[in-house]
């Protein structure tokens, strides 16, 4: 027996799959069900998986498969191959934001505890060389093993540059960040500099100064006054594709 919201989501996913050939985004599902956050969608999808109505394909974004429909719904007809539209790649037109990462993510950890993997928002490329402004593409997410996450809110960033190579962080890696404004001395953090530059570096406190330290001798450590640097999150994990 499905709840009303579970039933609505299953029917919406099924109609979207038959019309387009690929599953809707979490944002589209949230809007269709008039929910306030994506964490509710995570919980509904997990419940539908547990009841055998949905299947989530591992390591692929937007890859849901409807296994069966409720008994009071007519059986699905598989679309002819010519009727299935190939997913199109949207034009990349990111908006520049200034260090306000991972808004409205309350509940992500609860979803992680209920599933083997969880979708985290992927926030653009962050410099592991000189600081750059962070780019946010709110429609992009990455599937992360739940075991990587701790308590609290999380988001993901794609690394650009080679200044953290000796810490095992390479250009193109995806880092998992626990959102927060506190970090121990020596932690690798996402740091906001002068309110508009964001970088991934090791944090060192030296008296009344803060040093952002690279892990590559080709780059210099940058030192700032304490009022010029704000911690946006702490590195807790890393994903790499080969």
Domain parsing of the chain, residue ranges: 4-83, 95-239
How far apart CA 175 and CA 232 sit, in angstroms, is 13
Q: What is the pLDDT of residue 72?
A: 59
Distance of CA 35 to the CA centre of its chain: 19
How far apart CA 236 and CA 188 sit, in angstroms, is 9
Q: pLDDT truncated to tens, each residue of the chain (242 aa)?
A: 678 888 898 899 889 888 877 788 888 888 898 888 877 888 888 888 888 888 876 545 557 888 888 775 554 544 444 444 444 444 434 333 333 444 444 444 444 344 477 888 777 777 665 554 444 555 678 888 888 787 888 888 888 889 999 999 998 889 998 889 989 999 999 998 988 788 899 999 988 899 999 999 999 999 999 899 999 899 999 988 77
Q: What is the pLDDT of residue 216?
A: 93
Tell me the C-alpha to C-alpha distance, in Å, between residue 54 and each of 23, 68, 82, 118.
11, 7, 24, 15
Q: What is the pLDDT of residue 167?
A: 93
HEC per residue, 139-202: CCEEEEEHHHCCCCCEEEEEEECCCCHHHCCCCCCEEEEEECCCCCCCCEEEEEECCCEEEEEE
Tell me the C-alpha to C-alpha distance, in Å, between residue 151 and each of 113, 120, 155, 220, 233.
10, 14, 13, 34, 13
Closest CA to 140 of 119, 154, 159: 119
Q: What is the pLDDT of residue 133?
A: 44
Checking 38-43 for CB contacts under 8 A at 24+ apart, the result is: 38/119, 39/105, 39/106, 39/107, 39/108, 39/110, 39/111, 40/5, 40/107, 41/9, 42/107, 42/108, 42/111, 42/114, 42/115, 42/118, 42/119, 43/107, 43/110, 43/111, 43/114
Q: What is the pLDDT of residue 202?
A: 95
Q: What amino acid positions are annotated as catalytic residues?
A: 163, 201
To which CATH superfamily is domain 95-239 assigned?
Umud Fragment, subunit A (2.10.109.10)
Question: Which two tokens mark 21?
Answer: 């050939």
Q: What is the pLDDT of residue 43?
A: 83
pTM (predicted TM-score):
0.51
4-83: CATH number = 1.10.10.10
> 113: buried, middle or exposed (CB in 10 Å: 19+, 13-18, 0-12)?
exposed
């Amino acid at each position: 027996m499905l709840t009303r919201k579970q039933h609505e989501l299953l029917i919406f996913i099924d109609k979207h799959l038959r019309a387009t050939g690929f599953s809707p985004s979490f944002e589209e599902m949230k809007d269709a069900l008039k929910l306030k956050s994506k964490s509710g969608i995570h919980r509904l999808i997990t419940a539908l998986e547990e009841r055998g109505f949905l299947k989530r394909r591992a390591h692929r974004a937007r890859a849901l498969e409807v296994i069966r429909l409720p008994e009071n719904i007519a059986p699905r007809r598989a679309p002819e191959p010519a009727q299935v539209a190939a997913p199109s790649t949207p034009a990349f037109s990111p908006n520049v934001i200034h260090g306000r990462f991972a808004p409205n993510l309350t509940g992500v950890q609860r979803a992680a505890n209920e599933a083997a993997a969880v979708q985290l928002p992927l926030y653009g490329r962050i410099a592991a060389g000189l600081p750059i402004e962070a780019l946010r593409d709110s429609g992009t997410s990455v599937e992360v093993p739940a075991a990587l996450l701790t308590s609290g809110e999380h988001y993901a960033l794609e690394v650009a540059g080679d200044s953290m190579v000796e810490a095992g962080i390479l250009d193109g890696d995806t880092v998992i960040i626990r959102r927060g404004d506190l970090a121990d001395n020596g932690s690798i953090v996402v740091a906001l500099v002068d309110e508009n530059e964001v970088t991934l570096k090791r944090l060192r406190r030296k008296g009344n100064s803060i040093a952002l330290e690279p892990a590559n001798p080709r780059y210099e450590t940058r030192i700032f006054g304490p009022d010029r640097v704000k911690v946006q999150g702490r590195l807790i994990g890393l994903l790499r594709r080969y």
